[in-house]
Structure 1
């Protein structure tokens, strides 16, 4: 991929995670990146990183030339298990027994998006133990 100014500063793909249940960045979340060249092609694992204290992942490996789709896999279950004590207030009004059988409904989040050469893709993840939202950032 050709690098633009943003891509040169952060890499072609970056992300950050905000834990909206506590209003803080989600630090220490493992993020893996994979790429493919066409919707029928096999996924190729590229590596990964871990979110920093600000919930940001700026050092993800760059997708190879010819990439048309990128997938980010967020391993959020371990984060929620580690930070369960911060969620005491959010569970106060929640039913005591959720149907997931665990403290987190989505143990991992996979986000797949289309890419074009030369563009930077920032993909923020807004997260709670029972839901998430994602969008293309800047």
Structure 2
């Protein structure tokens, strides 16, 4: 079995998948600092059309997912035209077994968020 990294975003303020959230993936190393590996946008189900990492791309180490939630909320309503309390949500995590499935969902609202290691 090859490992993979996936994510999805749920908008808790309306109880629906968050469509159109831009997500960036970075690998964090002491030698290179943050290196951008991928960028994608959530689909109508709040998911990405493909895993962010798979197979040989899955390396043990430290990573960061950066969710651009401020842009998402501003695109949904004129009510949120200025700066948001949460502009970006960074989630730093580690991959310890490159053969595992790492699923890192984001549950977000304009004033807070939560995450966990899903399945």
Structure 2 length-normalised TM: 0.83
State the SS of the aligned residue for 2:7.
strand
2:16 corresponds to which of 20, 24, 41: 24
Deviations along 1:55-77, one digit per CA (max 9) or x if unpaired, are 01242442735441111000111
Which position in structure 1 is the counterpart of 2:91? 111
Deviation larger for 122-131 or 41-50: 41-50
Structure 1 length-normalised TM: 0.73
CA-based RMSD: 2.2
Rg larger in structure: 1
State the SS of the aligned residue for 2:71.
helix
Q: Is the 8 A contact 2:6 2:53 kept in 1?
A: no
Which position in structure 1 is the counterpart of 2:110? 129
- Quick one: structure 1 residues 119 and 22, their matched pair in 2 at CA, closer, same or farther if it must change by over 3 Å? same
Q: Which whole-Å CA distance do the structure 2 matches of 1:135 and 1:67 have between them? A: 19
Q: Which whole-Å CA distance do the structure 1 matches of 2:58 and 2:116 have between them? A: 24
Aligned residue pair count: 114
**What stretches of structure 1 of length at least 5 have no aligned partner?**
89-100
Q: Is the 8 A contact 1:18 1:127 kept in 2?
A: yes
- 1:1-138 matched pairs, under 5 angstroms: 3=2, 7=3, 12-37=4-29, 40-41=30-31, 42-62=33-53, 64=57, 66-84=59-77, 102=82, 104-116=84-96, 117-138=98-119
